[in-house]
């Protein structure tokens, strides 16, 4: 049933990707029983509220092979792990200031054979690397995030789409997006998705690189 939801939006998945997505259910249920990475009330909505929400980014844009992506405040691996399944030729660094959560992210990635995930216990303020895209879900207000991650955005190559920050959040982002409204409105990718699975959650893309 849960895989059907993913296939509805991403019918082109390979058998390997289908298997990787399918295995997330048991892995996150097991880990969540030990460490609270997803609210206990919500773990049965893993695919709808967490996996598919993360994949909204894949719906909005296709990362090119070789792209480097930083997941800032990944917790147990969202959106980084679903995106790493979706884009096996893209390098994902997942960071979080809480060690036990980020260990779950790496354990899950290793268990399903993802070789493009490097999860690290570090605060975003200390992260030195440069990335094409910073993705982040439910971590901090957008202006605070942008202040911290500007140093990490690599300059985009000529003729490619601009690098930048992509955030996924619940609630109403209008106030947070306000300082960036001129940049956000210029991009087709900033999407206030109304898809059924997206559930009033927002995706904002800020081309800052
Ligand atoms: C609400 S959780 C969301 C986790 C994950 N992104 C998700 O959607 O399931 C917020 C996470 O951000 C992390 N976090 C908050 N501020 C951070 C910072 N400055 N650097 C690194 N991680 C941070 C917290 O440790 C926490 O795991």
Which ipTM did the prediction report?
0.99
Ligand 1 centroid–CA 74 distance in Å is 6
Question: Scanning the structure block, which residue is given the tokens 């982040």?
Answer: 136
Ligand 1 centroid–CA 12 distance in Å is 31
Q: Which residue has the least CA distance to atom 23 on ligand 1?
A: 73
Q: What percent of the chain has pLDDT over 90?
A: 61
What is the C-alpha radius of gyration for the chain, rounded to an integer number of angstroms? Answer: 16
| Residue 140 Cβ < 6 Å to ligand 1 | yes
Burial of 199 (0-12, 13-18, 19+ CB in 10 A): middle
- pLDDT interval class at 206 (50, 70, 90): confident
CA 147 from chain centre, in angstroms, equals: 19
Cβ-contact 133, 189 below 8 angstroms: no
- 28-48: per-residue pLDDT in tens? 999 999 999 999 889 998 998
Q: Specify the pLDDT at position 196.
A: 52
Query: Tell me, what CATH number does 8's domain have?
Result: 3.40.50.150
- pLDDT interval class at 56 (50, 70, 90): confident
Residues across the chain: 209
Closest ligand 1 atom number to CA of residue 136 = 6
- pLDDT interval class at 158 (50, 70, 90): confident
| Residue 74 Cβ < 6 Å to ligand 1 | yes
> To test the ligand 1 pocket, which listed residue (35, 100, 139) has its Cβ within 8 A of the most ligand atoms?
139
**Which of 71-80, 146-155, 189-198 is least confident?**
189-198
Q: Specify the pLDDT at position 204.
A: 77
Cβ-contact 172, 201 below 8 angstroms: no
Ligand 1 centroid–CA 182 distance in Å is 27
When divided into structural domains, the chain yields a total of 1
Domain region containing 126: 2-207
- pLDDT interval class at 172 (50, 70, 90): low
| Residue 97 Cβ < 6 Å to ligand 1 | yes
> To test the ligand 1 pocket, which listed residue (96, 137, 140) has its Cβ within 8 A of the most ligand atoms?
96
Cβ-contact 162, 208 below 8 angstroms: yes
- 61-87: per-residue pLDDT in tens? 889 999 999 999 999 999 999 999 999
Ligand 1 centroid–CA 122 distance in Å is 11
| Residue 75 Cβ < 6 Å to ligand 1 | yes
Q: Specify the pLDDT at position 33.
A: 94
């Amino acid at each position: 049933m849960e895989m059907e939801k993913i296939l509805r939006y991403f019918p082109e998945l390979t058998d390997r990707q289908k298997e990787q997505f399918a295995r997330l259910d048991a892995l996150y249920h097991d880990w969540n029983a030990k460490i609270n990475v997803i609210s206990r009330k919500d773990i049965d909505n893993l695919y709808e509220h967490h996996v598919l929400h993360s994949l909204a980014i894949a719906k909005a844009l296709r990362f090119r092979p070789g792209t480097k992506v930083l997941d800032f405040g990944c917790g147990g691996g969202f959106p980084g792990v679903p995106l790493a399944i979706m884009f096996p030729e893209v390098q994902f660094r997942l960071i979080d200031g809480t060690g036990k959560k980020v260990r779950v992210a790496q354990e899950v990635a290793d268990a399903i054979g993802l070789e493009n995930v490097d999860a690290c216990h570090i605060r975003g303020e200390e992260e030195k690397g440069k990335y094409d895209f910073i993705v982040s879900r439910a971590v901090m207000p957008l202006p605070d995030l942008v202040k911290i991650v500007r140093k990490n955005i690599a300059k985009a190559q000529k003729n490619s789409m601009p690098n930048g920050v992509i955030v996924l959040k619940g609630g109403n982002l209008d106030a947070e997006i306000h300082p960036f409204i001129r940049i956000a409105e210029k991009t087709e990718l900033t999407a206030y998705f109304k898809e059924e699975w997206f559930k009033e959650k927002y995706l904002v893309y800020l081309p800052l690189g």
